[in-house]
Structure 1
Amino acid sequence: MEIEKITKQDYKEKTAPYRAWLNSISIPVALIVLFIAVFFGFTVNAAGMIIFVFAIITHVNYKKIQAPKICHVAPILYYVYNVLSVFYVMSLIAHPEVNLTAAILSLINFALLILVIAFYFVAAQAIKKQFPRMKEDYNEAVQAYKGKK
């Protein structure tokens, strides 16, 4: 059976829901791993920035696939988390001794991180519900695109 060949643009469109779903799963898992690594004293300088870039890409993909509005909550909360992290670090630099502001910002950031992780999993479920055949569509698009080359 001959597989119909598709263009690169069609390939991107057909694989977008699966890629958005995959990012919705991988971002919170990466955040959990990063948090655990930092908790145990490992320094992971670029990992946070890489996850942030993936969050932006995922947010753009949500827009492209017209994902449910609930999907946009996680990236927005993640942006807020990163902005608050800047203020947290600034308060630590300004007052290296333990201070109330740093403690409050730390608790708020931790709560936001938990919400970000939860909402990414909610987004993954919403995408799965909206695109029940996304995995099959992805596999078919990959085969059709590879057949083109």
Structure 2
Amino acid sequence: MEREKMTKQAYKEKTAPYRAWLNSISIPVALIVLFIAVFLGLTVNAAGMIIFVFAIITHVNYKKIQAPKICHVAPILYYVYNVVSVFYVMSLIVYPQVNIVSALLSLTNLVLLILVIAFYFVAAQAIKKQFPRMKEDYNEAVQAYKGKK
């Protein structure tokens, strides 16, 4: 009996929910690791940009799989977090000594980061609820696609 062959497009569509769920778990974990690394004084040059790119990809994937609206909150908050970060860095460059503006921006960033992490986990839960068979579908799609090669 020959396995059913799967096109690359069908493979991408079938595996999209699982990949979106996986990113919804990976991004907040990466943000936590990045925050701890920065807090410990480690230099992490491109890590923030890589996470940001994954957030954009994940946001696009949410639209493709028609994820619940709550899933879109985390990426949007992450975009706001990054904009506030730019203003925070600019305030530190203009006024290197501690001032009220940089302190407020720093506190705002911390609150936004906590919300981003929480909403990514909420998004992961919402995707899991919407696609209860996503892992099985993913495994079946991988097997069907590999059978093609």
Asked if TM exceeds 0.5, the reply is yes
Normalising by structure 2, report the TM-score.
0.99
What is the RMSD computed on CA atoms of the aligned residues?
A: 0.6
**1:1-149 counterparts in 2 under 5 A?**
2-149=2-149
List structure 1 segments (4+ residues) > 6 angstroms apart after TM superposition.
Answer: none
- Find the residue that maps to 2:98 and give its secondary structure: coil
* Structure 2 stretches lacking a partner, 5+ long: none
Q: Deviations over 1:111-139 (max 9, x none)?
A: 00000000000000000000000000000
Task: Report deviation, 1:110.
Answer: 0.1
* Structure 1 stretches lacking a partner, 5+ long: none
| Count of residue pairs brought into register by the alignment | 149
Task: Report deviation, 1:2.
Answer: 3.5
Letter in 1 for 2:76: I
Q: Deviations over 1:48-93 (max 9, x none)?
A: 0000000000000000000000000000000000000000000000
Task: Report deviation, 1:3.
Answer: 2.4
